Structure 1
Amino acid sequence: MKSRSKFVAAIGVWCLLIVLTPLLVERAPLGSVFLYLFFSPICHQIPERSFFFFGHQLPVCARCTGIYFGALLGSFFAQKKAPPRLFLIAALIPLVLDGGTQLFFRESINVLRLGTGLLAGFAAIFYVYAGLFNSENE
């Protein structure tokens, strides 16, 4: 398996675990408990900020869901040479603005959290991929 295939597969498995967790609640409760615990150190899991799938909460919030699925999408396009830093900065601005203004001024909505996460995850994975697989590291 080539480097890109392994990279995409790893992110795909991560995203699959996110989607499978609520499905396991009724079919394999111990598995779902394990996955909720597994994801808890990396996400606050606040129900109001999370999506629900078949009546059960995803193990990560809407923003984290966007970040991981954005990373999965971006992993198909990432290159060994990272784009200019301005690409990442531009992609992070909506996330920072949404998250920052949510702290003091307003409550964001899950669709906006998802969108800003998708954009940030899509961009960030270009730099992760380049850092792992650039010609100097192979």
Structure 2
Amino acid sequence: MSTSSALQHKVTRIAAWLLLLGMMGWWAGDGLLGPARHVGYAICHQIRARSYLFGDLVLPLCARCTGQYLGLWIPFVVAWGRGRLYGTSLPRRRVILLLALFLLLWAFDGLNSYATLLLGEPWLYPPQNRLRLVTGLLQGIAIGYLYIPFFNRVFWAKARAPEKAADMRELFMALILAALLALAVESRYLPFFYPLAILSTASAFLFLSSLGVLLLVVAFGAESQARAPRELLTYLLPAMTLAATFLAGLGWLRSTIESHGIMPPLA
């Protein structure tokens, strides 16, 4: 790498750090949950009746979004534990069929909930937050298991671990973790509030950041070239800055729309 190129890289990293830290500092001005609230405001309707309350505290994401983003990190944790976090193989066929079923259940429950909102009365069955949470968790697991090989194929030069596909045993482990998270949310036990609020919104932010990584890789024509973890870090910081900027833009757009009376405040 030439001296000018190295200097440009360094300046870019410093600028990205300053922008990211400045945005996080601005969000944190609203207290410990400031960043979580801002992320939730940008990506979720935050309707109180469709969210979980822990005493006087409301999770920053609705029940369905809470499930989705809590479920999303589960495949990454399980895949890491089984040594296949960098694998590029799709899950086994039976697992894919179950993941497709999870997505259908999520879509069906969402359609029923939305139809009930439009009709003003239950459509096929009365919606409830427990179903929103569970189907959201299942959707998050499905997206996670399909996303891992997709990301690895686009980013890494080759699989960095022996090729092993997600099997039924691994899916069962993921479902156990999902059940524990569902119980934690359903308990409404106050000490669980902050970990759940931070974990769900951090999951959303990191997922958007990973999409930013892929966007940058494609933009620079560097698909399937990375060979070391430090190369991921090279892209991750600018991608996190992109994600933070995107979320800030969505939040500003929603605030503008609500303040001009184009639609009523949802939260």
Q: Tell me the TM-score normalized by structure 1.
A: 0.68
1:89 aligns with 2:100: yes
* 1:107 Cα offset (Å): 4.0
Unaligned 5+ runs, structure 1: 1-23
Structure 2 counterpart of 1:121, one-letter code: G
Aligned to 2:140: 121
Aligned amino acid, residue 90 of structure 1: L
Q: Distance in 2 between matches of 1:123 and 1:58?
A: 23
Match of 1:130 in 2: 149
Structure with higher Rg: it is 2
Deviation at 1:93, TM superposition (A): 1.0
Letter in 2 for 1:66: G
SS at match of 1:41: helix
The letter for the 2-side match of 1:94 is L
Any residues of structure 2 matched to 1:48-87 within 5 Å, and which? 48-78=49-79, 79=84, 80=87, 81-83=89-91, 84=93, 85-87=96-98
Query: Percent identity of the aligned residues?
Result: 31
1:14 maps to which residue?
none
Please give the alpha-carbon distance, in whole angstroms, between the structure 1 residues aligned to 2:63 and 2:144.
Answer: 18
Change over 3 Å in CA distance of 1:122–1:34 after alignment to 2? closer
Normalising by the residue count of structure 2, what TM-score does the alignment of the two structures yield? 0.38
Listed one character per residue, the Cα deviations across residues 77-111 of structure 1 (whole Å, up to 9, x for unaligned) are 34522225534321101111111112221541111
User: What residue is the counterpart of 2:130 in the other structure?
Assistant: 111
5+ residue gaps, structure 2, are: 1-27, 116-122, 160-223, 227-267
Structural RMSD (CA): 2.4
Contact 2:74/2:144, CA 8 A, preserved across alignment: no
Q: Distance in 2 between matches of 1:66 and 1:121?
A: 7
